[in-house]
């Protein structure tokens, strides 16, 4: 495409007629990639062929090897986050290789393995950026929401916001670290250093953060959807010392609670389960309304807060920590074209760990699928 100076006509889906920089008319291959596209909220993603993206100044063209499926993707598809660019290629847990660098991009070499997270761009100048809180940037742009993401064969990212991926992580294992792991880790840090950690909702984020909390010498209590015996067993296998229904009383007081399920009823439940001075962190980007609750369950210096997005510093810190735990993500791979099925399984609570999409032609070795 970049060879063409003037587009004259399109022959078919894959070829264009253009006048080149030398002035001669020629037929050029119009290279296309496979992508899953959201055209309107509350409709299934459509399998599409889009022109290969081109990296602009300071950007990288990345060949996607794996892309994690996040609950945020589901909130976007379901219209609960209502300002996506449209049409949109979702996906913000992207693992791939740099195959081309835009002008002035020097931080990563062609061939480097990189991860592309949710935070895709910040202005660097607002009051939040200037005080180390770029996660709250007033003009932030997010991957797979404001910027096309990784449900595709190729994607483009601002090189300042991508991370190097630890070499001991295969592609499938690395993908869930980029949001489930990273934002879960930020939530755990904001929950303080209490010993008894409650995890509400035991999906992609909690199954990673359970491992991190145990590595830090804490005790983990898992709260799962009523009757979800599989999730309860999963939490116990990963080292939670207790696992039970999310609205049931905890076996003992918690020092902090992380709420990953998008269910407002869990907020008063977690406050009731928390000791004096305890901290409850809502870790998701969307939650159903929180029912009113008596002041006495917040009294005694309990803290209720949310966590929003990530900073690049969070990413660097978590990518260094993950191999030391070592975090082992449980992964359910799906071909890219099956993105709707993967999202449906997530909506129904049927995924154990994290779903990860694999573009056509990428064939991860079998042991990458093991936990």
E runs forming strands in the chain: 4-12, 15-20, 25-29, 32-37, 46-51, 59-68, 94-101, 113-116, 119-121, 141-142, 154-158, 163-164, 196-200, 219-224, 242-245, 254-259, 274-282, 303-306, 331-335, 354-358
Tell me the closest approach of the beta carbon of residue 143 to Zn ion, in angstroms.
Answer: 9
From the CB of residue 77, how many other CB atoms can be counted at a distance below 10 Å? 24
Is 270 a binding residue for Zn ion by CB under 5 A? The answer is no
**CA R_g for the chain:** 22
Residue 80, SS3?
coil
Listed ranges 136-144, 230-238, 300-308, 337-345: which one lies at the site for Zn ion (CB under 5 A): 136-144
Site string for Zn ion, 166-195 (x = CB under 5 A): -------------x----------------
Residue 50, SS3?
strand
In the bound state with Zn ion, the residue whose beta carbon lies nearer, of 154 and 204, is 204
In the bound state with Zn ion, the residue whose beta carbon lies nearer, of 49 and 80, is 80
Is 49 a binding residue for Zn ion by CB under 5 A? The answer is no
Is 122 a binding residue for Zn ion by CB under 5 A? The answer is yes
Is 126 a binding residue for Zn ion by CB under 5 A? The answer is yes
Tell me the closest approach of the beta carbon of residue 118 to Zn ion, in angstroms.
Answer: 5
Is 18 a binding residue for Zn ion by CB under 5 A? The answer is no
In the bound state with Zn ion, the residue whose beta carbon lies nearer, of 129 and 343, is 129
| From candidates 16, 61, 98, 137, binder to Zn ion by CB under 5 A | 137
Site for Zn ion in 324-363 (CB under 5 A): none
Q: What residues have CB less than 8 Å from 95, skipping those under 6 apart?
A: 64, 65, 66, 67, 113, 114, 115, 165, 171, 174, 175, 178
Site for Zn ion in 59-98 (CB under 5 A): 70, 72
Tell me the closest approach of the beta carbon of residue 58 to Zn ion, in angstroms.
Answer: 17
Are 331 and 176 contacting, i.e. CB atoms less than 8 angstroms apart?
A: yes
| Residue ranges in contact with Zn ion by CB under 5 A | 70, 72, 122-123, 126, 129, 137, 179
């Amino acid at each position: 495409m970049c060879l063409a100076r003037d587009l004259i006509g399109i022959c078919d889906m894959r070829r264009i007629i253009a006048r080149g920089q030398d002035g001669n008319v020629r037929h050029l291959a119009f290279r296309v990639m496979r992508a899953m596209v959201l055209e309107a909220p509350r409709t299934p993603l459509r399998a599409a062929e889009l022109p290969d993206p081109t990296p602009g100044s300071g950007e990288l063209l990345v060949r996607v090897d794996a892309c994690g499926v996040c609950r945020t993707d589901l909130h976007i598809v379901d219209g609960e986050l209502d300002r996506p660019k449209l049409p949109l290629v979702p996906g913000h847990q992207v693992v791939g290789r740099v195959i081309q660098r835009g002008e002035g991009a020097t931080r990563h070499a062609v061939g480097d393995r990189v991860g592309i997270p949710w935070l895709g761009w910040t202005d660097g100048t607002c009051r939040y950026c200037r005080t180390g809180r770029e996660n709250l940037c007033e003009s932030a742009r997010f991957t797979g929401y404001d910027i096309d993401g990784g449900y595709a064969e190729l994607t483009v990212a601002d090189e300042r916001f991508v991370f190097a991926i630890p070499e001991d992580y295969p592609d499938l294992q690395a993908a869930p670290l980029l949001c489930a792991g990273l934002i879960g880790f930020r939530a755990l840090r904001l929950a303080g250093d209490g010993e008894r950690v409650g995890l509400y909702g035991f999906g992609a984020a909690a199954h990673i953060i359970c491992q991190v909390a145990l590595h830090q010498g804490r005790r983990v209590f898992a709260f799962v959807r009523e009757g979800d015996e599989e999730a309860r067993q999963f939490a116990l296998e990963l080292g939670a010392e207790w696992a039970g229904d999310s609205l049931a009383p905890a076996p003992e007081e918690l020092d902090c609670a992380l709420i990953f399920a998008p269910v407002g009823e869990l907020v008063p439940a977690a406050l009731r389960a928390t000791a004096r001075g305890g901290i409850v962190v809502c870790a998701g980007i969307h939650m159903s309304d929180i029912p009113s609750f008596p002041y006495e369950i917040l009294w005694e210096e309990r803290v209720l807060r949310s966590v929003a997005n990530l900073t690049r510093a969070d990413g660097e810190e978590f990518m260094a920590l993950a191999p030391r735990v070592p975090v082992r993500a449980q992964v359910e791979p799906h071909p890219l074209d099956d993105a709707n099925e993967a999202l449906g399984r997530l909506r129904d609570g049927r995924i154990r760990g994290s779903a990860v999409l694999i573009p056509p032609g990428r064939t991860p070795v079998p042991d990458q699928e093991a936990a």
